[in-house]
Amino acid sequence: MSTTLPVVLIVDDEIRSLETLRRTLEEAFEVFTAASTDEALAILQNEFIHVVISDQRMPDMTGVAFLKLVRERWPEVARIILSGYADNADIIAAINEAGIYQYLLKPWRPDALLLTVQGAARLATLQRENELLNVELKAGEPWMRSRVAAKRQQASDAFAMHSIVRAANSPLNRICALLTKVAVHDIAVLIEGESGVGKELLARALHYASHRAQRPFVGENCAALPEQLLESVLFGHKRGAFTGAYQDHVGLFQQADGGTIFLDEIGETSPAFQAKLLRVLQEGEIRPVGSSRSLRVDVRVVSATNRTLADLVQQGRFREDLYYRLSPFAVLTPPLRERPEDIPLIALDLLERMRDSFGLPDALFSPATLVCLQNYRWPGNVRQLKNEIQRMLALADAPVLGPELLSPQVLHAGDESQQQELAFLGSVRGDLKERLDQLESQIIRETLTRHRWNKTRAASELGLSRVGLRNKLVRYGLEPKA
């Protein structure tokens, strides 16, 4: 599951009610609103929605009829009905026909609504993961077990350390190697790095490299929820623990039992929450809100932050004792601008994944576009790169994605790079032979990086034999470090 916010679509013909719902949910979710079912269907068609909340009484169709349609087309989307009337027939129809997650009565309470939508989003995420695993309900049957095992293997391959795209000489190699080593030991891991650098990707890869791979990986963005809700989401609650707690709720720590829990944006948590988390980690037990019983859980904690946690400790904003609990092993993921050799490879990988859905199965980058992509500084890291490629695909009319499709700041980075190239040429010292050697070494390094250090392809592009290329690598000391 991604710890980017879950996406919720609200459908209601009353604009004021739509806006109130949006305001209540938009802190914790990415929210779309639709004032008609047609508008809602168009959004479902184009967006990746986790939860649909529909009003029951709408002019064009009832909420139940609409959610039935949603269930037929997008069964993985969790469905919630909001109604002003406790009509038994409607409730039974909603449950039977539209398979809804919850029937909420108006006036709803913000905390109850948030909890319900959080639970529904979690369900939708699990359903998506199940879909990935293609686990069918008959998993208990012996013939299914081997299939489930095979599908789990596929999932672990998809999230394996080796599937994290990076160049042969990328600094990520060292990080992946360290995480693979640490994975087999059951210690907590802290992953630091700017937003969008791939911290969650690394956390998942760590999980799948560990002996916990057959158990769940669950994640939560700790910055997305108010303190009390976060506590309830992570540790669970008993029915009646607070207003709006209509039923028992199993927390994520319990859901992750035997597996890994990923606590994203841990640096944003309140002192009170930090104290509770520390107790859970010290005791290996959780106590659901409103419960008098503690439950033992066996969970490996991987946390992430885009701050420097040690600095927050220094500033008195993060508990030192919790910091040491969370970080017996810590890695700093470098931003994309510090590993430009990864950019073309990640860009090509993202393009391959996305081009079909934009109806451009043969799309490829022009060489000038690749140069611009590699020269830009990507403050939003891989997530921003992904958005940029989506934007290009959305604007493109032909398979070759030229630089004219780039957003201005990325395009402009190309200009800067030309200036840099001129500056580089000006900075090269020595006689003509020495300067040409330096240029040759740069060109070979760039070509190899683009070909993921596949020497046959690089040699072919450069018009060299493999032996010829190898000799030059030795001469210029260019062999990548393992």
Ligand X SMILES: Nc1ncnc2c1ncn2[C@@H]1O[C@H](COP(=O)(O)OP(=O)(O)OP(=O)(O)O)[C@@H](O)[C@H]1O
Q: Is 198 left (phi over 0), alpha (psi -120 to 50) or beta?
A: left
CB of 267 to ligand X, least distance (A): 11
285 binds ligand X (CB under 6 A): no
Query: Looking at 346, 406, 444, 473, which residue binds ligand X (CB under 6 A)?
Result: 346
Region near ligand X per CB under 6 A, out of 63-71, 88-96, 159-167, 430-438 = 159-167
Question: Phi and psi (nearest 5°) for 289?
Answer: -60, 130
Task: Please state, in angstroms and rounded to a whole number, the distance separating the CA atoms of residues 185 and 365.
Answer: 42
Contact flag: residue 200 with ligand X (CB under 6 A)? yes
- Under rule CB under 6 A, residue 207 binds ligand X: no
> By C-alpha distance, which of 202, 458, 480 is closest to 341?
480
Q: Does residue 58 interact with ligand X by CB under 6 A?
A: no
> Applying CB under 6 A, which part among 48-56, 97-105, 244-252, 378-386 lies near ligand X?
378-386
Residues 294-313 binding ligand X (CB under 6 A) are 304, 306
The CA-to-CA distance between both ends of the chain, in Å, stands at: 31
Return the range that interacts with ligand X (CB under 6 A); candidates 206-214, 273-281, 381-389, 408-416: 381-389
Closest approach of Cβ 285 to ligand X, in Å? 28
Q: Is residue 68 part of the contact set for ligand X (CB under 6 A)?
A: no
Total site size for ligand X, rule CB under 6 A: 20
Residue nearest to ligand X (CB): 198
Angle at 163 between CA 191 and CA 133, to 5 degrees: 95
82 vs 197, which CB is nearer to ligand X?
197
Helices then strands (H, E): number in the chain?
Answer: 20, 14
Residue from the set 7, 31, 165, 312 that interacts with ligand X by CB under 6 A: 165
- Smallest distance from the beta carbon of 471 to ligand X, in angstroms? 32
DSSP state of 333: E
Contact window for ligand X (CB under 6 A) among 163-171, 229-237, 267-275, 426-434: 163-171
Residue 165: count other Cβ atoms within 10 Å of its Cβ. Answer: 18
| Stretch touching ligand X by CB under 6 A, among 15-23, 191-199, 279-287, 413-421 | 191-199
Binds ligand X by CB under 6 A, chosen from 17, 36, 180, 195: 195
Amino acid symbol at 44 = L
Using CB under 6 A as the binding rule, whether residue 193 contacts ligand X is answered as: yes
Residue matched to tokens 């060299």:
464
Half-sphere exposure of 228 (CA within 13 A, CB side): 12
Environment class of residue 215 by beta-carbon count within 10 Å: exposed (0-12), middle (13-18) or buried (19+)?
middle
Tokens of 382: 């891989």
- The residue ranges of DSSP E strands in 289-383, in sequence order, are 295-296, 300-305, 329-333, 364-365
d(CA 37, CA 66): 7
* Single residue of 6, 63, 119, 198 touching ligand X by CB under 6 A: 198
Rounded to whole angstroms, the Cα distance separating 222 from 209 reads 24
Instruction: Please report, as residue ranges, which positions from 213 to 272 form the binding site for ligand X (by CB under 6 A).
Output: 264
Stretch that binds ligand X, among 144-152, 188-196, 205-213, 403-411 (CB under 6 A): 188-196
205 binds ligand X (CB under 6 A): no
Contacts 24+ apart (CB under 8 A), 83-91: 83/55, 83/56, 83/57, 84/56, 84/57, 85/56, 85/57, 90/56, 90/62, 90/64
Nearer to ligand X, 343 or 406 (CB): 343
Interacting residues with ligand X (CB under 6 A): 3, 164-166, 193, 195-201, 264, 304, 306, 346, 349, 382-383, 386
